[in-house]
Structure formats: C-alpha cells, structure tokens
Structure 1
Amino acid sequence: MDSVVKKIVREVKRGNQDAFAELMELYKDKVYHIAYRMLGNSHEAQDVAQEAFLRAYMNIESYDENRKFSTWIFRIATNLAIDRIRKKKPDFHLEDKVGGTENLDYYSQFASEEELPEEQIVKLELQQWIQDEIMHLPPKYRSAIILKYLEDMSLKEISEILNLPVATVKTRIHRGREALRKRLK
C-alpha cells in the first residue's frame, strides 16, 4: 500500500489532480472519522476534512515521502480539529439537541422504518454517552484518547500524528483516561 501511495504522491507533485483525487478517495473516510470523533459534529468534521485535504494539496511539496502519507494527513486533520476546538463559538445545527425536548433531536421527528432491539439501543446510548464525555476532555487529552482507543492507532503513530515524543503521548493517554474515568463515575 505504501509504495502505491508514494507513486500517487509523486504524480500529485507533478501536477496530476486526478492522482490527488485518488489520495482523497483512499483517506477521506478516515480523515472525516478522526475529525468527527474530535469535534462531535458532522458539519464541522466535513469542514475540517475538506480543509485538511486542501492544505495537503497546497503543501504537497513539503510532504516527506520517507514518512507515511496517512500520518501526515491525519496530523493536518488533528491540528485543524484542535484549532477549531480552541476557537469554538456556540454553533447551532439541526442535529443539535434542543433544551426541554427530553432527548429528542431533529431526527426523532421521523418514523423509523425498522425497530432496534433493546440491547442495541442501550449500546448506542452508552456509546453516545462515552463520546459526549470524551468531548468534555481538554483537546490535548481528547486527541490522544480518540487516536488510541477509537481509531486504534499505535503509540508510535499517535506520536507522529501529534508530533510529540512517545512518552508525552503515553502521559496524555493516561491523564485523559483518568479524566474520563472521573467524568464517567
């Protein structure tokens, strides 16, 4: 896979826009997924993913082909998501929960075509609760926790994405886990 990606990157560096479309196709879901896990909002995640690919395209010459492209694009997306979290102002979307509606949201106004078994509902609620609690972690811990436990990346990969020493990554994961444990009690 890495050799294929390197060939595609070389084509992009030569100005082949179709080759960049191939790169986007390979990584768009994962980049969006990372942004969504960090931001908890699909509109913002789409914006961050688009911005990440735009920045990658504009700065493709600075990409070091001796490193994995995935690490580079994930770092761009993670940094953009962290920047967005830091600058965050209240944002309202149709998907947001409305106060006083007892856990109803925009989608609950539509009849479901299939019924979920009770176990699936409980599982989904638990996942949503944990995701909500992760969203309350400081960005530096949130990014480490998401990359480790939700994206299942190695400490080395996280270290490269966040541009931090592995020891710092371990510390952030540990502290993030502790903060999350306290929030979940």
Structure 2
Amino acid sequence: MLERTPEQEAAQEAVARLVRQCIAGDAQAWQQLVVSQHRRIYAICYRFTGSSSDAEDLTQDVFLKLYKNLASFDLLKGSFQTWITTLARNLLVDHFRRTRLDRASDSLDATFDGEEDGPTMADRLADTRDSQEQQFSSLELKTRIQGALKQLSPELREAVILRDLEDMDYKEIAQVLRIPEGTVKSRISRGRGELARLLQRIEKQRMM
C-alpha cells in the first residue's frame, strides 16, 4: 500500500473532522462536506456514464444516500473517501442495470477540459506545456487515450479508473470493488497492458 503524503493525511483529517461535525448535527459542516466532495464524485459519475445530466443526477443521489447513512459511518474502521466512492460505485451499478447501459459505453471523458480534480491518464503520459503546439499534442494524445479506454472491458476499465484517475491505492480499490487485492493488481496490470497495446494500434493507424 502506498504511503500518503503529509498533505494527503492533512486533507483526510480535515474530511474526518467535517464528518464528525456532521454526525453531531452541524448543518454548516454538511455544506462544507458537500462542497469538498462534490467535484470528485461528479467526476467519477461522469467518467462512468459519459453524460453530464446523468452524472449530475447520480451525484445528487450519492449525497442524498450519504446524508441518510452518514451516522452509520465508522471513522475508526476505514477511509471516508473509500466509503463515499463505494456509495457512488453502487449507485452507478444500479444505474447501469436500470438503463441497460454497458459500462464500456462512452464514459471516460475524464477531466479533459481541466475542470475536474485529479490527474488524467494523459497527464501521467504527457508533460503539458503552455505552447500551442504542445497543447495541441496533449489534446491529441488525450483523445487517443480516451478512444483506447472505451475499448477496455468494464472490469479492467473500472480498475484503471480508480487507480490511475482517482489515485486510490490497492487496498481502497479492493474495498470499493469488493475483490481481493491480488485481483485488483491483476486487473490494473492487464488493463494497463491492454491500454498500451490499443494505443500502439491507434498510433499505427494514424501513421498509415
């Protein structure tokens, strides 16, 4: 499991403090908690659905469910981020069942406009500069990565999202997906390998 930076630890403690205040009935703390988590939850919902309207509706559902169940969260038993991500993931699964959408449909237009938190896969592969030429190259790379991500199986894609887009560690992903850590590592490894092969194929097609 990856060690957290002092900044991450401080941020996690700040969230934990808000949660404790919310459980104690502090309405202002609830508003602060929503503001602190809304962007991230919306981003997750958007990455999986590919629809801004669906993502907004699902984000509201996540916070409604969070409000109803917050008192049941045990700060001593786990990370709040893991818990709320699990809530979001469960609602997404229900959404896909209701609408009969495949999780591999158009979904991972992840932070391409720079409005959402967290590093994208493209940010990990490309060093973005301010020049127009380099910005264009970065956008082009992001577009290719998006196309490759769409072709991953739902299981591999899900694992890659949580690890490489949400920067969650293996233990947290295992808790969210309810699978062993070994399976998490395997899916991430396979997903990255398949993604690399798809990107190579896309690049060859571009050069033809």
TM score, norm. by length of structure 2:
0.66
The superposition leaves residues 92-126 of structure 1 with CA deviations (integer Å, 9 ceiling, x where unpaired) of xxxxxxxxxxxxxxxxxxxxxxxx82331231122
Shift of 1:71: 1.1
- Give the aligned partner of residue 34 of structure 1: 44
Q: Would the alpha carbon gap of residues 179 and 79 (structure 1) be closer, same or farther in structure 2, given more than 3 Å must change?
A: farther
Kept after mapping to 2: 8 A contact 1:141/1:176: yes
Shift of 1:73: 0.8
Instruction: Provide the secondary structure at the position in 2 that maps to 1:149.
Output: helix
- Give the aligned partner of residue 71 of structure 1: 82
The alignment status of 1:53 with 2:63, answered yes or no, reads: yes
- Give the aligned partner of residue 148 of structure 2: 133
Q: In structure 2, how many angstroms separate the alpha carbons of the residues matched to 1:37 and 1:57?
A: 23
Q: Would the alpha carbon gap of residues 131 and 40 (structure 1) be closer, same or farther in structure 2, given more than 3 Å must change?
A: farther
Shift of 1:38: 2.4
The superposition leaves residues 109-147 of structure 1 with CA deviations (integer Å, 9 ceiling, x where unpaired) of xxxxxxx82331231122123123313323322221011
Q: Would the alpha carbon gap of residues 152 and 140 (structure 1) be closer, same or farther in structure 2, given more than 3 Å must change?
A: same
The alignment status of 1:62 with 2:72, answered yes or no, reads: yes
The alignment status of 1:150 with 2:161, answered yes or no, reads: no
- Give the aligned partner of residue 161 of structure 1: 176
Shift of 1:19: 1.9
- Give the aligned partner of residue 176 of structure 1: 191
Q: In structure 2, how many angstroms separate the alpha carbons of the residues matched to 1:122 and 1:153?
A: 28
Q: Would the alpha carbon gap of residues 166 and 78 (structure 1) be closer, same or farther in structure 2, given more than 3 Å must change?
A: same
Please show how residues 77-156 of structure 1 align to structure 2 within 5 Å.
Answer: 77-88=88-99, 117-156=132-171
Range with bigger deviation, 57-66 or 2-11: 2-11
Shift of 1:87: 4.3
The alignment status of 1:8 with 2:57, answered yes or no, reads: no
Q: Would the alpha carbon gap of residues 40 and 131 (structure 1) be closer, same or farther in structure 2, given more than 3 Å must change?
A: farther
Q: In structure 1, how many angstroms separate the alpha carbons of the residues matched to 2:30 and 2:154?
A: 30
- Give the aligned partner of residue 29 of structure 2: 19
Q: Which amino acid aligns with 1:45?
A: A
RMSD between aligned residues: 2.4
Q: In structure 2, how many angstroms separate the alpha carbons of the residues matched to 1:142 and 1:12?
A: 34
Q: In structure 2, how many angstroms separate the alpha carbons of the residues matched to 1:179 and 1:86?
A: 26
TM score, norm. by length of structure 1:
0.73
Q: Would the alpha carbon gap of residues 43 and 34 (structure 1) be closer, same or farther in structure 2, given more than 3 Å must change?
A: same
Q: Which amino acid aligns with 1:47?
A: D
Q: Which amino acid aligns with 1:146?
A: I
Q: Would the alpha carbon gap of residues 121 and 86 (structure 1) be closer, same or farther in structure 2, given more than 3 Å must change?
A: farther
